[in-house]
Chains A and B, each alone.
Chain A
Amino acid sequence: MSRVAPARQRAGVAPRVALLLAWFALPLVPLLLWAAADRWSYPAALPTDWGVTGWRQALDQGALPALGRSVLLGLAVAALATPAGAMAGRALALHRVPARRVVEALLLAPVAVPPFAVVMGLTTLALRLGVPAGVGLVVVLAVSAVPYTVFVMRAAYAGHDIGMEEEARTLGAGPRAVLLRVHLPLLAPALATAAFLAFLVGWSDYVVTLVVGGGRLVTLPMLVGALSSATGNDAVVAAVSLAAVLPPLALLLATALLARRGAR
């Protein structure tokens, strides 16, 4: 395929991309306005006083360390759930798995069952086993992220040409070289997508972080939840929410770019 898409094809893509961007951006508009509003009284269509009070309050309420903890939690969840999803996805797509339906159902179960219902039981279990709160938190979130990573990796392996690896082997590459130089590069876009989804699970969780984590890790969603439960906090809630929304958006763009490069 040529590196530049034909003009006709691009013309068809542009409106769709614009629509998609609007879909993502529209809910952000009031957030952006509120985050820049010092005062916004009811009937006015736009903020009556502009300013950065919301952001200053967000800093006062500990948004910066919370951001750092959210990033750490997201990364830890992605680090566990992505390889697990890749291995399960590969097995399901390329190998004969006994009792396949049962395995698939088990892998998808965490999505089907509402986390809120499971969390209390899991907390008790983790406490009885003496699992440290932080470890329990990452493990529970990684398990709820696995369905997404399995789904992505299974699709990727279904379209993966194992012949490439065999060819490399015939040409004399060792298993390690095949993995690092053929297998992983081919699957990098899918791995990035899977890791992104797993990161989001850790990044955006509230219930598990609070209940299983035992309050040791105050993350951005906890700040957003606590602050937004009161009236009159609109500016600071907007600022904290933006801080919670923008990093995943940036990551999404990055993974999308990576996926496009991989597709060529």
Chain B
Amino acid sequence: MPSSRRHLRVPTLLTGAVLVTSACSGAAGPGATGGPSTTAPDRSWDEVLAEADGQTVDLWMYGGDQLGNAYVDDVLAPAAAGLGVTLRRVPVTDTADALNRVLSELQAGTDDGSVDLVWVNGENFASGRQADAWLCGWTDQLPSMAYVDPEDPLLTSDFGTPVDGCEAPWHKAQFVLAYDSAAVTDPPSSMTELFAWVEANPGRFTYPAPPDFTGSAFLRQALYAVAGGPDEVPAEFDQAAFDELAPELFDRLAALAPSLWRAGDTYPQDLAALEELYAGDQVDVTMTYGPATLAQQVASGALPAGTRVLPLEGGTLGNASFLAVPVNAADQAGALAVADLALTPEQQLAKADPAVWGQYPVLAPDRLPGDVAAAFAALPSSEAVPPFEELSRDADPELGAGWVGPLEDGWRSDVLGAG
């Protein structure tokens, strides 16, 4: 389950309402009117650790990912206890719940907020930045940032919003298509070839109906293909670019529809439904934003043994998710200590193990100590999924969150039912 699933949604009505009211009353203008400061105090890391000792950090995170919950409870929390920090996980249905809590606290002028750390990316990060809800300029203080490539484009921009030290990287994700090598002998090697393959093999391909997260990612991948590459699509949503590019995309997908499973009359409702079709040999291709789950499903026999990731020319979409600290976190030092801990090679290595969570590390391999790099290389590999360096070699940047809604709406009106 990709982390971003819950982060991409349009912020709830409440977030909007709070933004409006706080903008009117001026109550949430941190920094301007004596509210909490938006930049972390400059202090030595030892001082941070000393202050963190004894604090309880509330980590608000999407709670639908059982492996993720278990990793935090069983691996990260005990390690935090070693620093004298108690780590509590607050499971939420949607990351916007955490942001809503922070915004109402800011509106009330609370400076000992109950949210210390949030697992976030995309839309919720952007909304929080607009409201000055995130503490900024603190990631440089983290000793473990030494293992991170400061130029890595996936980590400097979060769905088009500059990160600016307002969140610490946590892990990466990569969108992939996978096929059954036992059934497909001539796998396509680009999105354009995939479309041609679909038309040559009617009924053997489909994709989850957007707004399913994976289906929506497929839509963005297809947009890059018809536009001629990521460079042709502005990252920030732009109506003129949309008006120019979207018709071509929707025409292509509508033309493809009669060759889809059930002639495009209907689409699988979500990724789980597509996986059922793929496992049941109804289609030959599946897709996911979390390739590690693919390796597990092949190992457990849930997916065919011949499953292989489809290497696509021009790469596929990639993104990263992060840990952010609200400006009014009661246990700010503890939150920083945990964010640093989560970035250590040991934690990133433990988390990358598919049996633990299977999340791709954000660390740069050439900055790692030799033994850790070797340990990463020795992680259980799967014939189905190539190593991450290979997968992510030319990762396409994610589009700005503003693109998601218009693309999904356009698909619904122009493609759905075109079969």
Contact = CB atoms under 8 A, between A and B. Distances in A.
A216 B60 CA distance: 11
Nearest to A43: B280
Contacts of A2: none
Contacts of A51: none
Contacts of B279: 41
Interface stretch (B31-39, B108-116, B168-176, B225-233): B108-116
A204 interface: no
Contact of B101 (A211, A231, A233): A211
B1 interface: yes
Most chain B CB inside 10 Å of its own CB: which residue of A124, A210, A232, A233? A124
A120 B114 contact: no
A152 interface: no
A124 B107 contact: yes
Contacts of A210: 92, 97, 101
A226 B18 contact: no
Interface residues of B, number: 40
A73 to B, nearest CB: 16
A264 interface: no
Given A42-B280, A57-B66, A229-B93, A215 B114 contact: yes
Interface in A111-126: 116, 120, 123-125
Interface in B87-129: 90-94, 97-98, 100-101, 104-105, 107-110, 114-115
Given A214-B114, A215-B60, A215-B90, A230 B65 contact: yes
Most chain A CB inside 10 Å of its own CB: which residue of B1, B93, B98? B93
Nearest to B69: A61
B64 A211 contact: no
B207 interface: no
**A-side interface mostly:** helix
Contact of B108 (A62, A128, A218): A128
B93 A226 contact: yes
Nearest to B14: A120
B333 to A, nearest CB: 19
A232 B280 contact: no
B94 A229 contact: yes
B63 A124 contact: no
Nearest to B302: A39
B104 A226 contact: no
A213 B104 CA distance: 12
Contact of B105 (A127, A218, A227, A228): A127
Chain A's interface size range is 20 to 34
A156 interface: no
B270 interface: yes
Interface string B119-161: 0000000000000000000000000000000000000000000
Nearest to A124: B108
Contacts of B62: 226, 229
A211 B98 CA distance: 8
Given A211-B97, A233-B66, A120 B18 contact: yes
A236 B64 CA distance: 11
Contacts of A225: 63, 92-93
B64 A127 contact: no
Contact of B91 (A42, A216, A226): A226
Contacts of B18: 120
Interface string A37-53: 00001110000000000
Contacts of A61: 66, 69
Most chain A CB inside 10 Å of its own CB: which residue of B17, B66, B273? B66
Contact of A127 (B60, B108, B272): B108
Nearest to A216: B114
Contacts of B100: 120, 211
B6 interface: yes
A241 to B, nearest CB: 14
B276 A124 contact: no
21 contacts: A41-B276, A41-B280, A57-B66, A60-B66, A61-B69, A127-B105, A128-B108, A214-B115, A215-B60, A215-B90, A218-B91, A223-B63, A223-B91, A225-B92, A226-B63, A226-B91, A227-B64, A227-B66, A227-B91, A229-B93, A236-B66
Given A127-B104, A226-B92, A227-B66, 9 more contacts: A43-B280, A57-B66, A61-B69, A211-B100, A214-B115, A226-B91, A229-B94, A231-B272, A232-B272
| A-B interface, 5 closest residue pairs, ranked by CB to CB distance from nearest | A226-B63, A230-B64, A127-B108, A214-B114, A215-B90
